[in-house]
Amino acid sequence: MPSERTTSGLSIKPSQSFPVATGRLCQKGLNALEHVLHSERILEPLFKIGNDSQRWQQITWDQAFTDIADKIKSLQTAYGPDAIGVYGGGSLTNEVSYLLGKFTRVALRSKYIDYNGRYCMSSAAAASNQAFGLDRGMTMPLTEISNAKYIILAGTNIAECQPTMMPYLLEAKKKGAVIVTIDPRNTMTSKVADIHVRLQPGFDSVFINGLLHVMIEEKLVDQRFIGERTSGFEQVKEAVKSFTPARVEALTGVLEAVIRTVARGFAKAETGIVLTARGLEQQVNGVENTLNYINLTLLTGKIGRPGCGYGAVTGQANGQGGREHGQKADQLPGYRLIEDPAAREYVAKIWGIDPGELPGKGVSAYELLQKIDEGEIKALIVLGSNPLVSSPNNRMVERALQKLDLLVVVDMFETETARYAHYLLPGSSFAEAEGTMTNLEGRVFHRQKAMELPGNSKLDFHIICRLAEALGRGAYFQYADIEDVFRELTAATAGGKADYSGITYRRLQEEKGIFWPCPSPNHPGTPHLFERRFHHPDGKAKLFGIQPKMPAEPIDSDYPYVLTTGRLANHYLSGAQTRRTDALNKKAPVPVAEIHPWLAKRIGLGTDNQIRITSRRGSLCLEVKVTEGIQPRTVFVPFHWGDEHSINVLTNDALDPTSRMPEFKICAVQIECI
């Protein structure tokens, strides 16, 4: 892997002093300047002329803010404050995430805000809150991975999706750790594993119940830890009673010997870590799946001590920080709940408003888009996201966007979503905006500005503040600079679960990052969670007995195969940036479906055939790759494309009842040659 990449005389290379990425950059990082400097980048505010949806015209910033504010005021006069929605992103800085939440509640006085992180870590977040009383991506620093003797990686392909994490796993393996991967595909990550469990999507809790059954039956659990630090053991014991290894083998195809080997290995190991990701979380049973994986760490006492813990692996740049400060429908800064009277009173005081002015909670990201389709939301502001590509059943999303009286998109490019916008405002890239990010460890970093803004683009935080001013609420958005925003953010988080109040830009620069909670200027931060107590009032973690449930759309005779989606190493999220990066796009210019030779033979696939995949929502024609490395009844398709290559035309929009995560990973389909 090259260590440096030069574009237009500018170079990008990994920082040797950055404490997480071990002096490395993935291929997307090495090529990041290419989209920053891309010729298609939007550099002037644009608006649509009349009813011609294809024609843009330049407009001044002043006129854009005035026009947008006037339209918002008119719509709110006619339909009320909740007629306006806001859709944010998990790659925005903490400061911009915070401002977007404040803008929605204070400037718009609307309850409708959510963000694309709802499609990423929401099931893991809900499970962590239920089990531990606190949601932080990892309960320990990444460095603890190398101290683990047994590591379970479930529904995650770290080698391709988070490659700078791989050195931690390889170091653990070098020290003798056993690595288990659980995935329907053989991946670059499974190649370094000692055991690969090729599990059909939807069977995670069945498999884990088998592991828990063995641990309890063979008395391999940590009874002292369970008794002193958890509640709910009897419910787990009852739930897994019937899930003998023989029964689990019959249900999943995973050999009884493998089930016993993994259960005994993890339970008996001196230290161990469980890491989960979207494979098991992006399901209507995603929260329960995650709770069951957390059960593994709690029943064996492998949490709150060196070399142990649970972590949810994220792919978005600020997937953790993005959900802590107000982008989620039910949250205020510091991971406070918007319907908690004490939280409302505290944050309202910081913002200088009456608590009664704060709206209640809104709805999740996909439900927000449904509110547009139903006619309740008349205008939408999108910042840092491309929901037309990233949402399930995206023909509904396309229909909804066309119904809006006002769509404002702040972005670097004319994305698939922005094509339907009435105003497209040029925002800033990562290289031009100073701010802070919080990684999956819960470690807050300061990111310096590296470049000047091009053309007539503006910093995202300036756009938010100027629009608030145009709406007549500018008095609440007076900031000298982005550090001033951060100071207010830290004050707003004081006393919350995600307490940043002891963190300053100076400390972040000097200490190279600080783990929250950090409640005072002299506090060192909290790298390790739950060493002595969990975050529930009684200090104990909660165990949950899980009875596995069917997916929202089981396979049947009409739709006999399972479609699952995921990422490629070359691309990122909806591909708005990486599909414009030649070095990356050349490696994967179109999505390719992966199917097993058994399935290829069953449908009569020839050497030159493409396949048509059909779900209850639509059809898509794709190039195909035949590989032994996938579960036979499963087809895998990456999701980084829009238009005629968008797999989310097919995916199911059923939601987890707790996290409201769509079921991207399981969709019943037909497959045929064309």
What DSSP character marks residue 578? G
**For the segment 10-28, what is each residue's pLDDT rounded down to a tens digit?**
778 777 777 887 777 777 7
pLDDT class for 600, splitting at 50, 70, 90?
very high
Q: What is the DSSP string of 477-506?
A: ---SSHHHHHHHHHHHHTTSSS--TT--HH
Distance of CA 534 to the CA centre of its chain: 24
- Let me know: does 146 contact 168? Beta carbons within 8 Å: yes
Torsion (CA) 579, 584, 590, 594 in degrees, nearest 10: -130
What are residue 153's DSSP bridge partners?
181, 275
**For the segment 501-529, what is each residue's pLDDT rounded down to a tens digit?**
999 999 999 999 999 999 999 999 999 99
Residue 659's Cβ-side half-sphere holds a number of Cα atoms within 13 Å equal to 33
Kindly give, in sequence order, each residue whose CB lies less than 8 Å from that of residue 62, ignoring residues fewer than 6 positions away: none
Answer whether residue 431 shows pLDDT above 70: yes
- Residue 563: both structure tokens together: 């479609």
**For the segment 213-229, what is each residue's pLDDT rounded down to a tens digit?**
999 999 999 999 999 99
* pTM for this model (two decimals): 0.95
What's the one-letter identity of residue 673? C
Q: What is the DSSP string of 173-200?
A: HHTT-EEEEE-SB--TTGGG-SEEE-PP
Mean pLDDT for the stretch of residues 324-339: 96
**For the segment 19-60, what is each residue's pLDDT rounded down to a tens digit?**
887 777 777 777 778 888 889 999 999 999 765 567 899 999
pLDDT of residue 1: 43
Kindly give, in sequence order, each residue whose CB lies less than 8 Å from that of residue 275, ignoring residues fewer than 6 positions away: 151, 152, 153, 154, 156, 158, 310, 311, 312, 313
- Let me know: does 580 contact 38? Beta carbons within 8 Å: yes
The dihedral through the CA atoms of 85, 89, 90, 93 has a sign that is negative
pLDDT of residue 51: 56
Mean pLDDT for the stretch of residues 255-266: 98
What's the CA gap between 584 and 255, in Å, rounded?
39
What's the CA gap between 88 and 380, in Å, rounded?
11
472 burial (CB, 10 Å; 0-12 / 13-18 / 19+) is exposed
525 Rama sector, left if φ>0, alpha if ψ -120 to 50, beta otherwise: left
Mean pLDDT for the stretch of residues 348-376: 98
Kindly state the helix (H) or strand (E) to which residue 555 belongs, with its residue range.
Answer: none
Cβ burial 223-255 (10 Å sphere, 16+ → b, else e): eebbeebbebbeebbebbeebbbeebbebbebe
What's the CA gap between 5 and 161, in Å, rounded?
20
Answer whether residue 533 shows pLDDT above 60: yes
Residue 624's Cβ-side half-sphere holds a number of Cα atoms within 13 Å equal to 25
pLDDT of residue 280: 97
In terms of Cα–Cα distance, which of 319, 327, 394 is closest to 664? 394
* % of the chain exceeding 90 in pLDDT: 88
What's the CA gap between 319 and 119, in Å, rounded?
10
- Residue 634: both structure tokens together: 């499963």
What's the CA gap between 221 and 352, in Å, rounded?
52
* % of the chain exceeding 70 in pLDDT: 98
Q: What is the DSSP string of 323-385?
A: GTTT-STTEETTTEETT-HHHHHHHHHHHTS-GGGS------HHHHHHHHHTTS--EEEEES-
pLDDT class for 588, splitting at 50, 70, 90?
confident
pLDDT of residue 316: 78
**For the segment 106-141, what is each residue's pLDDT rounded down to a tens digit?**
999 999 999 999 999 999 999 999 999 999 999 999
User: Three-class SS string for 53-115?
Assistant: CCCEEECCHHHHHHHHHHHHHHHHHHHCHHHEEEEECCCCCHHHHHHHHHHHHHHCCCCCEEE
pLDDT class for 4, splitting at 50, 70, 90?
low
Mean pLDDT for the stretch of residues 658-663: 98
Packing angle of the helix pair 365-373, 394-403 (nearest 10 deg) = 50
Mean pLDDT for the stretch of residues 640-650: 95
What DSSP character marks residue 454? P
Between CA 203 and CA 210, with CA 204 as vertex, the angle to 5 degrees is: 95
Residue 305's Cβ-side half-sphere holds a number of Cα atoms within 13 Å equal to 9
Residue 46 vs residues 41, 56, 388, 422: alpha-carbon distances, Å: 12, 6, 20, 8
Kindly give, in sequence order, each residue whose CB lies less than 8 Å from that of residue 427, ignoring residues fewer than 6 positions away: 383, 384, 410, 411, 412, 457, 458, 459, 460, 463
Whole-number mean pLDDT of the chain? 95
- Residue 375: both structure tokens together: 């006619």
What's the one-letter identity of residue 74? S
Answer whether residue 63 shows pLDDT above 70: yes
pLDDT class for 328, splitting at 50, 70, 90?
very high
pLDDT class for 309, splitting at 50, 70, 90?
very high
**For the segment 454-471, what is each residue's pLDDT rounded down to a tens digit?**
999 999 999 999 999 999
pLDDT of residue 42: 97
Mean pLDDT for the stretch of residues 218-244: 98
Answer whether residue 5 shows pLDDT above 60: no
Mean pLDDT for the stretch of residues 626-633: 95
